[in-house]
Structure 1
Amino acid sequence: MDNWLPTLTTATPGEGYDLAIKLARMSVKKTQGDAAVRDRLRPDYAENADSLIAVSAVIATHFATIAAANAYWSASR
């Protein structure tokens, strides 16, 4: 099994945000495993404001999880 996510620990909030985006993208990839279908659907959501707002909410949820796992990056300071 591919271990693409060995930890939620990140050095900075920026790295945490990048990880949150990766989590959102991997969720789509694992949910819809057919790359051709993802490619065909992409134009539909890429220009849909509701879809873009929804993905922002998903990323925010992932970011909150990562921030909690990192104790808001304050434990090491």
Structure 2
Amino acid sequence: MENPENYIPSLITATPQEGRELAIKLARKSIAAIQTDPEIRKKLRSDYANDTNQLIGSAQVVAIEFQTIAAANNYWR
């Protein structure tokens, strides 16, 4: 079972796909850390699901996380 306190054992991933999946996980964990009430997050989901600007903002967060992971992996060279 994953230790909730150590959900990022490493930024090193075998492939860019794994790196992207980690970036999404990090973005989701960040949102959960900012808005700690799961019921409020669930309620707000419909708001951002229908708002192009909020969806783009979410994609930008994932992209920034992925950029960090790619750099940590020497861009998988």
Shorter-chain-normalised TM-score: which range? over 0.9
CA distance in 1, matches of 2:28, 2:67: 16
Give the SS at the match of 2:10.
Answer: coil
Aligned to 2:26: 23
CA distance in 2, matches of 1:65, 1:49: 25
Q: C-alpha displacement at 1:2, in angstroms?
A: 1.3
Aligned-residue identity in percent:
51
Which runs of 4 or more aligned residues in structure 1 lie more than 6 Å from their structure 2 counterparts after TM superposition? none
CA distance in 1, matches of 2:6, 2:37: 20
Partner residue of 1:60 out of 47, 60, 63 = 63
Say if 2:19 is the partner of 1:39.
no
1:2-47 alpha-carbon deviations (Å, 9 max, x no partner): 1111100000000000111111100000111100110111100011
Q: C-alpha displacement at 1:73, in angstroms?
A: 0.7
CA distance in 1, matches of 2:32, 2:56: 19
Superposition CA RMSD, Å: 0.9
Structure 2 residue runs of 5 or longer lacking an equivalent are none
Partner residue of 1:14 out of 17, 22, 29 = 17
Say if 2:27 is the partner of 1:5.
no
TM-score between the two structures when normalised by the length of structure 1: 0.92
